[in-house]
Amino acid sequence: MDRELRISVIGSGSWGTALTKILTYNVSKVCWYVHNEVAIEHIKDTSRNLNYLSDVEFDTDRLILTNDINEAVAYGNCLVLVTPSAFLSSELSKLTVSLEDKTIFSAIKGIEPNSGLIVGEYLHKFYNVPYSNIGVIAGPCHAEEVALERLSYLTIACIDKQKAKIFAEAMTTYFVKTKVSDDVIGIEYAAVLKNIYAIAAGIAHGLGYGDNFQSVLMSNSIREMRRYIKRIHKIKRNINNSAYLGDLLVTGYSLFSRNRTFGSMIGKGYTVKSTMMEMNMVAEGYYAVKSAYKINNSHKKKSHTPILDAVYQILYENRRAKKVFAELVNHLD
């Protein structure tokens, strides 16, 4: 990857808005794909995103705004994907330019639902992107706290550590500290799983379980995550590092967490459909549950995943949350 970065951000939700803001501190021009023309005009007029993190003010002289994904991809030698996983396929289907020579960092914390693949595997299989050109941006980091310029930490993962280092430099500011890793697969699966466990934490809260149970649930969640990832990609990793445990904790406990909020509403008796309508935002964990459950069950010797199984039963088998959690508590320690 050329050290002279030409970065294009693909996605304009909360996380896409936050990452674009970070990048404008160090990159002279950032191309930003915003599919809504009205939102683009609002950003030009007010320096703020109409729909997400509206308190964030941009230096619009540093932005190249477009609602043409091909223009954005053609501009960048480094792409940052921040679309919801459920819409990744439909967005990329608009492409007429190749991704093969691009370095791509995914900030998507979900599984592409049609293929059941994490984003890196999806890009490699369907768009011929070499694994050495694929990276992941991991937390723990909430978009809302980035907007407030509160101290945050990011892990940039790529098997080509030089590419990770170059991109990490572009993401480092006085309120964002970065580190690099080569555990792309492990960190990407961790980002998927932590959303599922955050839904579980939310369900527990909605059902009236207290802090004591929540701490046991999170302790069991990190062990379940370790077993799951080890089955998928067995390498030496410290599951207690920020990209794994830290991201799990902030997503499981924070009031900013949409996955926790989603779970809390389910625990209080809302249906999945009514919860989605009420939130008017994508909870990545909902889509991830089905794919992660299917992946685990595809193994001859599957991982022991009582928390994942419980959330799946509630969301996809329409079992009552109260009854499922009454059974789950006997599988935790």
Question: Is 86 known as a binding-site position?
Answer: no
Question: Is 322 known as a binding-site position?
Answer: no
DSSP 8-class letter at 53: -
Calpha distance 311→194 (Å, rounded): 12
Question: Is 202 known as a binding-site position?
Answer: no
Size of the chain, expressed as the number of residues it contains = 333
Question: Is 212 known as a binding-site position?
Answer: no
Question: Is 143 known as a binding-site position?
Answer: yes
One of 94, 165, 194, 302 is an active-site residue; which one? 194
Question: Is 246 known as a binding-site position?
Answer: no
CA distances from 265 to 97, 308, 311 (A): 42, 18, 13
What letter represents residue 17's amino acid?
Answer: T
Question: Is 259 known as a binding-site position?
Answer: yes
Burial class for 122, CB neighbours closer than 10 Å (0-12, 13-18, 19+): buried
Residue 177 annotated among the catalytic residues of the structure: no
- Give per-residue burial for 267-300: e unless 16+ CB within 10 Å, then b: beebebeebbeeeeebbbbbbbbebbbebbeeee
Question: Is 16 known as a binding-site position?
Answer: yes
Question: Is 87 known as a binding-site position?
Answer: yes
Calpha distance 1→105 (Å, rounded): 12
What letter represents residue 189's amino acid?
Answer: Y
Q: What is the dihedral of CA 15, 4, 70, 176, to 10 degrees?
A: 0
Question: Is 12 known as a binding-site position?
Answer: yes
* Binding-site sequence positions for NAD(+): 11-16, 87, 143, 258
* Binding-site sequence positions: 11-16, 87, 109, 143, 258-259
* Binding-site sequence positions for substrate: 109, 258-259
Mind telling me the catalytic residues?
A: 194
